[in-house]
Amino acid sequence: MAVIETRGLTKRYGRVVAVEGLNLEVHEGEVFGLLGPNGSGKTTTILMLLGLTEPTSGEARVLGLDPMREPLKVKAKVGYLPDQVGFYGELTAWENLRYTSRLLGLPEAEAKARIEEVLRRMGLWEVRDRKVSAFSRGMRQRLGLAEVLLKRPKVAILDEPTLGLDPEAAREFLELIKGLKAEGITVLLSSHLLHQVQEVCDRVGLFHKGRLALLGTVEELAQKVLGGGYEILVEAGPGLEAAFGELEGVARVEAEAGRYRVLASRDLRSELARVAVERGALFGLALRRPSLDEVYAHYFKEVAHAA
Amino acid sequence: MRREGSPWTGLWAVFFKEMADHLTGLRMRILEGLILLSALAAVYTGTQTLRQTVGEDPYLYLKLLTTAQDPLPSFVGFLSFFVPLAAIALAFDAVNGEYARGTLSRILSQPIYRDALLFGKFLAGLGTLAVLLLALFLLVVGLGLFTLGVPPGGEEMARAFLFLLATLAYAGVWLALGLLFSVLFRQPATAALAAIGVWLFFAVFFPILTDLAASALLLQADPFDPESQLRQANLALWISRLSPNTLYAETLTAVLNPAVRSLGPILITQLEGAVLGTPLPLGQSLLLVWPQLTGLFALFILLFTLAYVAFQRQEVRA
């Protein structure tokens, strides 16, 4: 079942197009990554899904509800962590969440239990009585996620969740996101930190100038953009370039003094090894999953060329 | 397009949170201190003057509120000076402050409409001012009991409450103005400066301008035709009533001084049979200031509506 669905979703600010003709489907329980450079329409899309910005045309469905007509029902089930999330610095972590629980209309006892649960889960229970103004960026981000969980959401929308975190905090945060997935929460996250997205996302959508340029798993994108979903590094005797290139499924071979970089549409390690052994010697063989960084860089290079 | 769900969802959560912020905030403490000090000073001088005439005036407590002794203005004078400032101080960063802290999109992603946020903030400001005014007023009456030793009368208290209500409406105007500017300007400092600018204009420059206009209008009148002079005088008065300060001052005049029978020029024929100096009953005084009160309420509803519309159309992202 599609948890988030958009058809021809378009947003224009005057003559500037923020999002154009977006068709997107996010399935239940998956982690979907929205990628793209700054200003490519990621945040606008998210705001339209929450009913916080009115689309110029097209429609969106979140959990089968129209965010423009029933924003309260949508927002009751969808947690949102904005980029650069802010809290009331003069209030403590606990008080900030208490305010949210009141806005959610939770009864007193239930609210207290839930606040304790989410603060413990995010490792913030010990600092619950500290003012948020004294919190580090990582703690704020975790408090933001605690607030998202306070809702017991079916969908969590996270906008640039790891931006500005140090590597350790970012890694921890990604673990927390994986935890959401394990719980069955559908996660939509936007980011331009590609290796992190690659680590947690089942599928990604690449935004470019308000349009969804590419959509699929990382392997599918690599297939489409790089011409091969698998990158195999071979160390073998010289002069094997042509022989490798003749194998079925090989998209490209780059050779450099006995080291070969083969892009292929499937895992060709055994075939490559056989060819190498037949014609000489094989010193090393390694499969590398294509990185999203490469896909991204390659795609935008192509786009720039085409323009 | 019809939206489902009540726009009031979450209103009280916002109201209580904002009210708590106001009441515990340093900003409000400073204002409270300022107002309290000036009120005490005014009341002190008022009682000093009144002590000599106790027993001669049936409306002693109203006098206590309005008696001024140089160089100090009366309690009412202090209030009409400080109330706009307090209202602006409570509202100028209501919305842009949420933007600046990055809390707006987080709050609006909770299941509430924007209406609840704006209404809640406005009501919290008004509630804070109401608490402040009531506390001050009770303090003044209590002090009066101590120093004058005369219990206040029923009608006197009714007039005093009417005065509080009018003050609250006046505060509402400035609160709505502060809220409007907090929506229009992204920088809280800009919003505060703009609101104080408007307040200064009405407090200082507007009376000068209306005086100039009045004398210019009077020059245009036919010196041998009293009716044209009256018309010009009425026109000048009408212009001066465009300011909320004038409306408020006129309301106070009639509410706190029962002897006041008219707020504009009056013809000698209209006074035929009137016993000058006798107090009007409360209902008649109320009738007299009804247009002024309505004007104040209308102005504050207008300003709030402008703020509301501007806020609804605003983009959430900073």
Question: pLDDT tens for residues A15-48?
Answer: 899 999 999 999 999 999 998 888 888 999 999 9
Q: Is residue A108 part of a domain?
A: no
Query: What count of other Cβ atoms lies within 10 Å of the Cβ of residue B113?
Result: 22
Residue numbers in B near A147 (CB within 8 A): 106
Chain A with chain B: Cβ pairs closer than 8 A: 86
HEC readout, chain B: CCCCCCCCCCHHHHHHHHHHHHHHCHHHHHHHHHHHHHHHHHHHHHHHHHHCCCCCCCCHHHHHHHCCECCECCHHHHHHHHHHHHHHHHHCCCCHHHHHHCCHHHHHCCCCCHHHHHHHHHHHHHHHHHHHHHHHHHHHHHHHHHHHCCCCCHHHHHHHHHHHHHHHHHHHHHHHHHHHHHHHCCCHHHHHHHHHHHHHHHHHHHHHHHHHHHHHHHHHCCCCCHHHHHHHHHHHHHHHCCCHHHHHHHHHHHHHCCCCCCCCCCCHHHHCCCCCCCCCCHHHHHHHHHHHHHHHHHHHHHHHHHHHHHHHHCCCCC
Q: Is residue B182 part of a domain?
A: yes
A108 three-state secondary structure: helix
What proportion of chain B, given as a percentage, has pLDDT over 90?
A: 46
- Average model confidence (pLDDT) for chain B? 88
pLDDT band of residue B263 (cuts 50, 70, 90) is confident
pLDDT band of residue B183 (cuts 50, 70, 90) is very high
**Residue A133 CB partners (closer than 8 Å, separation 6+):** A89, A90
**Number of domains chain A is built from:** 2
Q: Is residue B302 part of a domain?
A: yes
Q: Is residue B270 part of a domain?
A: no
The domain that holds A170 is classified in CATH as: 3.40.50.300
Residue numbers in A near B3 (CB within 8 A): 68-71
Residue of B4, B5, B105 lying closest to A52 (CB–CB)? B105
CA-based diameter of chain A, in Å?
Answer: 76
pLDDT, average across residues B248-259: 89
CA–CA dist A86, B166 (Å, integer): 38
Q: Do B103 and A69 touch (CB under 8 A)?
A: no
pLDDT band of residue B222 (cuts 50, 70, 90) is confident
pLDDT, average across residues B279-299: 90
Chain B nearest C-alpha distance from A195 (Å): 27
Q: What are phi and psi of A282, to 5 degrees?
A: -120, 125
Both A78 and A226 in a single domain? no
Interface test with B, best of A72, A96, A114 (most B CBs within 10 A): A72
Distance of CA A86 to the CA centre of its chain: 21
Alpha-carbon distances, residue B276 vs A9, B60, B156, B260 (angstroms): 74, 19, 20, 9
A184 three-state secondary structure: coil
Both A182 and A253 in a single domain? no
**Residue B132 CB partners (closer than 8 Å, separation 6+):** B28, B31, B32, B35, B86
Q: Do B17 and A102 touch (CB under 8 A)?
A: yes
**How confident is the model at residue B54, as a pLDDT?**
62
Last residue of a domain, one of A189, A216, A243: A216
- Asked whether the predicted pLDDT for residue B107 surpasses 70, the reply is yes
Chain A nearest C-alpha distance from B114 (Å): 9
At B37-49, the pLDDT tens digits run: 887 887 788 788 7
Q: Do A71 and B3 touch (CB under 8 A)?
A: yes
pLDDT band of residue B141 (cuts 50, 70, 90) is confident
Residue of B1, B4, B105 lying closest to A82 (CB–CB)? B105
The domain that holds A238 is classified in CATH as: 3.30.70
**How confident is the model at residue A280, as a pLDDT?**
80
Mean pLDDT by 10 residues, chain A (307 residues): 91 91 93 89 93 92 93 94 92 96 95 96 94 93 94 94 87 90 93 84 90 87 77 84 83 84 83 85 82 82 81
Q: Is residue A233 part of a domain?
A: yes
Both A62 and A147 in a single domain? yes
Q: Is residue B139 part of a domain?
A: yes
Boundaries of domain holding A240: 222-306
- Asked whether the predicted pLDDT for residue B132 surpasses 70, the reply is yes
Boundaries of domain holding B238: 22-258+276-313
Cα-trace Rg, chain A: 23
Both A41 and A158 in a single domain? yes
Chain A nearest C-alpha distance from B84 (Å): 26
Q: What one-letter code names the amino acid at A115?
A: I
CA–CA dist B253, A271 (Å, integer): 100
- Asked whether the predicted pLDDT for residue B247 surpasses 90, the reply is yes
Q: What are phi and psi of B246, to 5 degrees?
A: -60, -45
Q: Is residue A106 part of a domain?
A: no
ipTM: 0.87
Give the residue from B116, B95, B91, B92 showing the smallest Cα distance to B104: B95
Q: Is residue A32 part of a domain?
A: yes
Q: Is residue A129 part of a domain?
A: no
Partners of A158 in beta bridges: A81, A189
Peptide bond into A153 cis (omega under 30): no
Q: Is B316 on the interface with A (CB under 8 A)?
A: yes
Q: Do B106 and A70 touch (CB under 8 A)?
A: no
Q: Are A285 and A232 in contact (CB under 8 A)?
A: yes
Q: Are B112 and A72 in contact (CB under 8 A)?
A: yes
Count how many Cα atoms sit within 13 Å of the Cα of residue A270 in the half-sphere of its side chain. Answer: 1
Both A156 and A232 in a single domain? no
Q: Is residue B251 part of a domain?
A: yes
**How confident is the model at residue A227, as a pLDDT?**
72
Alpha-carbon distances, residue B48 vs B41, B95, B151 (angstroms): 11, 45, 17
Q: Do B5 and A71 touch (CB under 8 A)?
A: yes
**Number of domains chain B is built from:** 1
Q: Is B10 on the interface with A (CB under 8 A)?
A: yes
Both A180 and A236 in a single domain? no
At B195-206, the pLDDT tens digits run: 999 999 999 999
Show the tokens assigned to A54. Answer: 């009115």
Q: Is residue B60 part of a domain?
A: yes
Q: Do A80 and B109 touch (CB under 8 A)?
A: yes
CA–CA dist A233, A225 (Å, integer): 19
**Residue B113 CB partners (closer than 8 Å, separation 6+):** A71, A72, B3, B5, B7, B9, B10
**How confident is the model at residue B62, as a pLDDT?**
84
Both A234 and A193 in a single domain? no
Both A166 and A200 in a single domain? yes
- Asked whether the predicted pLDDT for residue B207 surpasses 70, the reply is yes
CA–CA dist A57, A41 (Å, integer): 15
pLDDT band of residue B259 (cuts 50, 70, 90) is confident
- Asked whether the predicted pLDDT for residue B126 surpasses 70, the reply is yes
CA–CA dist A250, A218 (Å, integer): 18
CA–CA dist B49, A168 (Å, integer): 73
**How confident is the model at residue B56, as a pLDDT?**
66
Chain B nearest C-alpha distance from A106 (Å): 11
At B47-98, the pLDDT tens digits run: 887 777 666 677 878 888 887 777 778 888 888 888 999 999 999 999 999 9
Last residue of a domain, one of A194, A216, A238: A216
E strands, chain A, in order: 2-13, 16-27, 31-35, 57-62, 78-81, 155-159, 186-191, 203-208, 211-216, 230-236, 250-256, 259-264, 282-288
Nearest CA in chain B to A48: B316
Q: Is residue B101 part of a domain?
A: yes
Chain B nearest C-alpha distance from A297 (Å): 28
Residue of B9, B17, B108 lying closest to A52 (CB–CB)? B108
Both A193 and A79 in a single domain? yes
Both A193 and A276 in a single domain? no
Q: Are A292 and A204 in contact (CB under 8 A)?
A: yes
Q: At CB < 8 Å, which residues of chain A contact B?
A: 43-44, 47, 50, 52-53, 68-73, 75-76, 78-80, 82, 84-90, 99-100, 102-105, 144, 147
- Asked whether the predicted pLDDT for residue B153 surpasses 90, the reply is no
pLDDT, average across residues B14-24: 93
Q: Is B84 on the interface with A (CB under 8 A)?
A: no
Angle made by CA atoms B247, B248, B252, in degrees to the nearest 5: 120
Chain A nearest C-alpha distance from B195 (Å): 24
